[in-house]
Structure formats: structure tokens, C-alpha cells
Copies of this chain bind each other. A is one copy, B any other.
Amino acid sequence: MITQWKEEPKAGVTFPEGFVVSGVRCGIKSLGNDLAVLVCDSVANVAGVFTTNHVQAACVQYSRRVARGGKVRAIVVNAGNANACNGEQGDSDNRSMADWVSRRLNVPPDHVLTASTGIIGHLMPMEKIKAGVEMAVAQLDRGAEADKNAVEAIMTTDTYPKYRAAIVDCDTWVEPIRFGGMCKGSGMIAPNMATMLAFLTVDVRMPSELLQEALNRAVAVSFNSVTVDGDTSTNDMCLLLASGMGGSEITVTGQAFEDFVEALSRFCITLAKEIARDGEGATKLVHVIVKNAPHYAGAHKIAKTIAESPLVKTALYGNDPNWGRLLMAAGRAGVPFDQNKVDAYVGTHLVCSQGRSVEFDRLGAHEYLKNKEVDVVVDLNMGEDSATVWTCDYSYDYIKINAEYHT
């Protein structure tokens, strides 16, 4: 059971013991930092989750292999160029980036992970990246300044940096565990497409197989429960490094491990929600909650279908408590349910009862939807499982951002 949850403002990936980071500008993007290096003082255990898109950037294919080894020392990440759809030259450039970091840090080359985000189909500006790696390695540090520099270096169209840190304790752990993390998102653009990247650090000692299981489960209910426009990038990746330098050790499954999964999930959710909140053109963060489904997978699929429905998202932009669209979207998720049992809520307003129209305070529901963070709930009244998916609305600005950019 989680007994303590204390978030540390303005802290990020170096909040747990054993990590240093830096973020520098080497000129890939037109403005701001664009290259970061994260290093673990010891050999870290690692877990990774990668895009399921069949078109994959060089870094995705490479880092998946590295992460499978279970041990790493560093991550190098750049923004401004995705190094996707660049063929063999892309693979070679990606390896060079890892090699430079490996040589400068004097760590094995297969202990360096890579990540990229930005424009696709353009070769990487390798001279700039080489200089960036030099600078970044020279500036490795821990603390608020370094954390902030690094998160700025992974942003593309994000309108604000997304990073978090927390110290968490559980009655099953010997010592509190520290969590750090940064992510970027904001939709599939910037300039050709954007990417969900998340880098997480912990100081627990945990074998990489367990770490991977924990990350899989945490990502399912957090980053994989966020949708901006349903599009999945060629570059999406989430990496978790465990330094083992804190006072807690979890080496087997059991309650301490379950508590870790819960804490990691909750930590990832705080980051994931920021991605939905900052979706392109978003005016609000929407919690789509499907309750009392026969199983979690069905609840999640329905919630995601609702969250990705353009008609639902435009209605939310218009502050319209349009329950018909909620039911329509739920119905097309491919998960059977009895339409005559379904209740729907906008906030606390019951807007549909047993699949039928019901009298409700339309003005009240409309006013509620003007909030910056709102709930829409579909209650299937069939079982006991629930799922939440976070999304944002579709506004004119989504069209503007995505139509007015020219390759």
C-alpha cells in the first residue's frame, strides 16, 4: 500500500539517486535546446516500450535491441529530426550518435540508447549532432537546472515542458523509492509528425525482467491510455532506467512489486495526462471513463474509441453534452454490450439513462464542459471493470496547426 506520495516541484529525471543529465542547443531545431544526454552513474537496469507502427525510425529498431540486453549507461536524444524513413544512412547515423556518446563517456557502445523526434525523411545533421554530444557530455549535472535543460531539448510542438518527480513510500518497501521523468507529446505533428517520448528514472534495485513487466503494466494504463488524434508515431518510445542506488530492492514478484507497479502507474499517469492536456489546439483535458464493463480490455477499447471520435471531440470543443455521440462511438468499438443498460454522465449530470434520453440540466452540463478538465462517463452496467482514457477536444487550432504547416 502506498503510504507516502510526495511530488517534488521543478525536479525531473535526476531526482532519483544515480543520474545526471544535460540539455543543449546544437541547431537541429530553429529555436531552443535540441539534444539531451542522460547518464546513470552505475550500470542501470532498463525496460522499454516502443511504437507498434510498422514504419519505424532507426532509433526505435536500435534501442529495442539495446533494451533487450537489460543493461545500459546512457540515453542520447535529439529533437528536430526523427531520423525516420532515411534507409541505411539513417541506421548508420543513429549508430554514430550512440558511438560518440559511448566514446566520450567511456562506456560500451551497446549500453547507449538513442531516441529522436522531429521531421521525417530528412538526413540527420551529423556535424551538429557531434558537436551537441560534446557539449552535452561536458554539461552533465543533476538538479533543477539540468532537468529543465533536458526536457526542453526533447520538445517539439509541446507548448510547455512536461516533467515530474516524486518520492514514494509503501509499507512493503525497506526505503522510499524516488521517481523521475520527462516526456513530450502533443499530437502527431511537428513538422511532419510528432512523437510520444518518455524517459523515466528510479533508484530501486530491480532486475530488468521485473522492471519490464512493471513498465508494460504502467504504460498500459498511462501513456497507452492517452490519445490526441489516434495517430501513432514512427518514433514513440518509453524508457525506464533503474539505478539501483536507492535503499530499496525488489527482486521477486509479490506485494512489494505490486506496490511498485501501482506507484509507477500513478507516476506515469501524471505525465501522460499532460500529453493530452497539451494536445494540438486542445482547450481542455477530457477524462473518458468507461465503468462496469465485463473486462478491462473491453472498457479500455470503448473508452479509446470514444476518445478518438472526431464527433465526440468536436462536441466537447463546442461544450455540447451530446450523449448520442458518446453512445454511437461506444457502439462502434467492436465490444458487445446491451444498449438498453447504458447510462452516460457529463461530470455529475446524468445525460442518458438505460440507453434513452433523460431530463437533465442542459445549461448546467454545458457550463460544466467549459472547464479546463472534464469527465465524461459511460456506465455499461454489465460488470465490474473500468478504464480511463485521457484525450483533448478538437478545435479550429488543430486544423490550423496541421493544415497550415507545409513540408
The residues of A with any CB-CB pair to B shorter than 8 Å are 52-56, 84-87, 119-122, 187-189, 192-193, 229-234, 308-311, 314-315, 317-318, 320-325, 327-337, 339-340, 342, 352, 354-357, 362, 366, 394-396, 398-400, 402-407
Contact A54 B339 (CB under 8 A): yes
Contact A320 B87 (CB under 8 A): no
Question: Chain B residues with Cβ under 8 A from A330's Cβ?
Answer: 54-55
CA distance A107 to B338 in the complex (A): 33
Contact A314 B356 (CB under 8 A): no
Most buried by B among A229, A332, A404: A332
Nearest-neighbour CB distance to chain B for A39, whole angstroms, equals 31
CA distance A340 to B310 in the complex (A): 32
Contact A53 B406 (CB under 8 A): no
CA distance A355 to B323 in the complex (A): 42
User: Contacts A193-B328, A315-B402, A395-B399 known; A54 to B352 CB distance under 8 Å?
Assistant: no
Q: Is the interface of A mostly helix, strand, loop or mixed?
A: loop
Contact B322 A407 (CB under 8 A): yes
CA distance A232 to B305 in the complex (A): 11
Contact A192 B55 (CB under 8 A): no
Nearest-neighbour CB distance to chain B for A190, whole angstroms, equals 11
User: Contacts A231-B310, A328-B234 known; A354 to B402 CB distance under 8 Å?
Assistant: no
Specify how many copies of this chain sit in the oligomer: 2
Contact of A310 among B229, B325, B355 (CB under 8 A): B229
Most buried by B among A53, A308, A336, A402: A402
Contact A394 B405 (CB under 8 A): no
Contact B335 A54 (CB under 8 A): yes
Question: Chain B residues with Cβ under 8 A from A310's Cβ?
Answer: 229-231, 310, 394, 398, 402
Contact of A53 among B52, B187, B332 (CB under 8 A): B332
Closest 8 CB pairs of A and B: A55-B331, A192-B324, A318-B403, A314-B402, A121-B357, A53-B331, A120-B324, A54-B331
Contact A55 B327 (CB under 8 A): yes
Contact of A366 among B188, B231, B395, B406 (CB under 8 A): B406
Question: Chain B residues with Cβ under 8 A from A339's Cβ?
Answer: 54-56, 85
Contact A311 B405 (CB under 8 A): no
User: Contacts A310-B230, A314-B403, A315-B402 known; A55 to B355 CB distance under 8 Å?
Assistant: yes
Question: Chain B residues with Cβ under 8 A from A193's Cβ?
Answer: 311, 324-325, 328
CA distance A334 to B230 in the complex (A): 13
Question: Chain B residues with Cβ under 8 A from A400's Cβ?
Answer: 396
Contact A324 B405 (CB under 8 A): no
Question: Chain B residues with Cβ under 8 A from A323's Cβ?
Answer: 121, 407
Question: Chain B residues with Cβ under 8 A from A192's Cβ?
Answer: 322, 324-325, 328
Closest to A318 in B: B403
Contact A229 B396 (CB under 8 A): no
CA distance A314 to B281 in the complex (A): 13
Question: Chain B residues with Cβ under 8 A from A87's Cβ?
Answer: 340, 354-356
Closest to A329 in B: B231
Question: Chain B residues with Cβ under 8 A from A399's Cβ?
Answer: 314, 317, 394-396, 398-399
In the assembled complex, 9 residue pairs joining A and B whose CB atoms fall closer than 8 Å, in A order, are: A54-B336, A56-B331, A85-B357, A121-B323, A310-B402, A318-B405, A320-B406, A324-B407, A398-B399
Contact of A332 among B52, B334, B335, B337 (CB under 8 A): B52
Question: Chain B residues with Cβ under 8 A from A336's Cβ?
Answer: 54
Nearest-neighbour CB distance to chain B for A394, whole angstroms, equals 6
